[in-house]
Structure 1
């Protein structure tokens, strides 16, 4: 297939490279010249395991190119719109500026029989509105909505081998044409018996935000249980293990700690609430307000723990923060719980030193007043060590060796990934959210 990908940020760059890997002829289009130059040279403008190798391989085949010239989309038959939908400033709703601009700019380059495929996460009702625009301006063009389900750190795997494919299409011949085209695009995953669901537009739009809301609910549920465990002396990790054996519940996403962050879960559940309010269905998702509140509350609790272990005041105390990204295997610091905790401690007067294997530059760009440094510089002389992003190298730290470098052996495990017995045996004060 001849494919264009409009928007080459995280979603678009991964999608373009993977489509080329599947054998399609792909042109990635973005207004950012720097980003386009990096991608064209086989470099990823962000950290994502496996993507640089995939970019190089796909570019070498001649099936993948990147440009700022939207007119080159005219050579394609299928057009994936992968632009961002950030949270609006001062509100919860999704900002559709980039989606609307991409559709408007694409219109002059569409031909009869083309299929435009939305992948961006949008409020329900957006696809129907855009389909009406296409019907007026390009009646021989079909719209489909094909939500993405990428996990940062596993995006290449999730695109090449998805756990499901969802097609939101119109009824009648137009919808049948869109399904036929998407089946051709995803022929390789479908050959692996990947489940395929064909729905209407609103169902496809709701799938992503519903899935993210469910995952956020599960995370905040176990963090609410962590609050109860702290109040009662129970152990939230053992509690999660016990209830996770119930196959109706499952153990995944029952890891208590600092909670979720990143560019998807927080803004998606907030946009979901905003859209439900617009539709007069806000009471159906009022629980999401508490989910969001529980999530944010965990960050304050980590600051309280640090203050507690340091004798009631963090001012002037040296604190090492291990992790700035919102999750491991990513350099994404958007709404990062780790970075939020570091900034709160700095604002309380602590001498905070933050380190991260990949996200240091992004953390410094967002908070230039924060001391972002190497691992060695962060831990040497620290009076408390806070593990806030569970990178593998932090999970595997030797408590005896680290103890020789710090000024005081206080460790706060913000992700419940360390062995408390091992660290306490090495002379450390061990504290974690939901455990004693």
Structure 2
């Protein structure tokens, strides 16, 4: 922090307007936090009286009406300083598991206003889970991320039994070997009743573990479930189709050895009719897509992720022939062996009239196919089109960039095509960022971080 300096000119009303604007447009991000912390730090030191008489009451009232904003902090000391200046905020912290203060810090009262905790460096194990489970000052914690560690079912059991984690809404255990016994601990937990989002990607979840989750009363309230990279197959989809997971809005089944039979099971899942987002990436779906798209239970779907699913042009024709996806806003078809004929089929799909984001990168698309997409008559809402790493010529890139058919298009990504210009490198970055924003906006589930 800067040292107090009485000679510094007073801060004007413009700063206060910025303060109000930041509070009114809160997003959980490092960028927002940095702007907020710098502003508060400056005014608190330079104009303390005005801050305490005007800024602080305004912040407290705003938090009371709209919820406490969450600020990313760098350390426990930073958290203490911000607590002193802005007692109306709560905190998010990326804490290294190798930091010597971790165990003691979790025991301290300083973490009582912590709402988001992510342990980094991949050294999270059952012992660390034990520290967290016993941390009585973490009672307000809403999101806990422990991905990529060495947690086993024993660590899961400790977390699931903790009476201090009852306010958790998001639990990320991705890429830990918790197995079916870990799933059992979560499914039978009497302490984690407020969970809304659970991430178990790459956790060695088997059919026995999935059955326990699918029949769990606790998981019947979960809105977002990530089961990617667990090889659950068609039997897993059968369990999901007749489960208690009726509150699900977002489901990830990426790389789960799903084929046509698995998609047939999902297409008959009446209990999943509330799904807003479905990720089936990296499965050899092929012609199974046609079965899924004819399901009467996908009418609310807003996001569909199908990258690397071996769909080919037949998959594009399936989109052109169905009418149940009228609310779809986000579609990912990257790396699916689609060529110009597939583009023509997609461009004629009237059911995709609400599409806002289309990723069709890494396909065999030439200038002709790209032109079909940017001139699609029914895609008036499209904002982001990713055609990167295709087979579009330099002249084709120019023609596509200068087309004005899609009047709402904000990001066009042509990076990686033949002779594409350097400016498309930045377009690629903007496309990815914009895509994340759309994912968050249309997913229907509050996501704490991407």
TM over 0.5: no
Instruction: Select the structure that is richer in helix.
Output: 1
Rg: which structure is higher? Answer: 2
Structure scoring higher RCO (CA < 8 A, sep ≥ 6) equals 1
TM-score, length of structure 2 as denominator length:
0.30
